Amino acid sequence: MSGWTPPDSPSPNLATALAWMKALEEWDEATHFATCDETLEHRILPKSLMRPVLNKNHYLSYFRGLAEMFAAPAGSSTQNAKVRLFTTCVASVKGESLTGELYENEYMYVLRLISSTTGNPEERKIQSVKEFCDSYASKTFFPAERKRVAEAKAKREAKAREAMGGYSGSSNRRSRQERHDTSPSR
C-alpha cells in the first residue's frame, strides 16, 4: 500500500503514532520521546534476536546508540492502520552508516496507546512498542557495524598516539627513571 496519505484529521492515537514515526525518521529525540509514556515497554522482535524489553530510559539509550551509527536520518516509507487502542506502522529504511556500509531493513511497529499517566489525561501516549524487523538484516549488520566502529576508533587512537610521538605512560616513566639513575654501572 504505497503512497498512503494520512487523513487531514487523524484520531488522537493515529496523530501520536504519526508524530512518533516522523520523529524517528528525523532522529528528533525530544519529539520522539515526548510521544512515549513513562510506562513505555519497547520490544524488538522476533524473539530469536534475544533482545531485552526496554523501559523508556533504556530505550532512550538504545535510540541514541543507533543515532550515533548513522550520519543522517535514513528515509522510510510508512503505512498505518489502526484498531482501537493499537496502531500499526510499516516502514522500510535504507541508509549508510558512518563507516560507509549500506543498511537496509523493514519494520512493523505495533503501538499501544493510552491516556498519559503523568500529564493531561486527554493526551495520548505510547505505552508499548512491538518492533518487528528483518532478523537476518539485524543479526548481520549491527554486530559487524559495532566491530567496524571499534576498529575505526582503535585506528584513530593509534594514529593520535603516533602523532604525539608514541607517548605511552609506562615507557615515558621508564625513561625518566633511567635519566635519574646515577648508579656507576652506566
Count the Cβ atoms, other than its own, within 10 Å of residue 21. Answer: 22
Residue 37's closest CA among 64, 22, 63, 57?
Answer: 57
- Is 12-152 in CATH node 3.10.450.50? yes
* Contact status, residue 88 vs residue 14, Cβ threshold 8 Å: no
**Mean pLDDT for the chain overall:** 81
Of the listed ranges 9-18, 50-59, 132-141, 162-171, the one predicted with least confidence: 162-171
- Percent of the chain surpassing pLDDT 90: 33
Domain ranges of the chain: 12-152
Instruction: Provide the 3-class DSSP secondary structure of residue 102.
Output: strand
Please tell me the pTM assigned to this model: 0.61
Cα separation of the two ends of the chain:
83
* Contact status, residue 36 vs residue 126, Cβ threshold 8 Å: yes
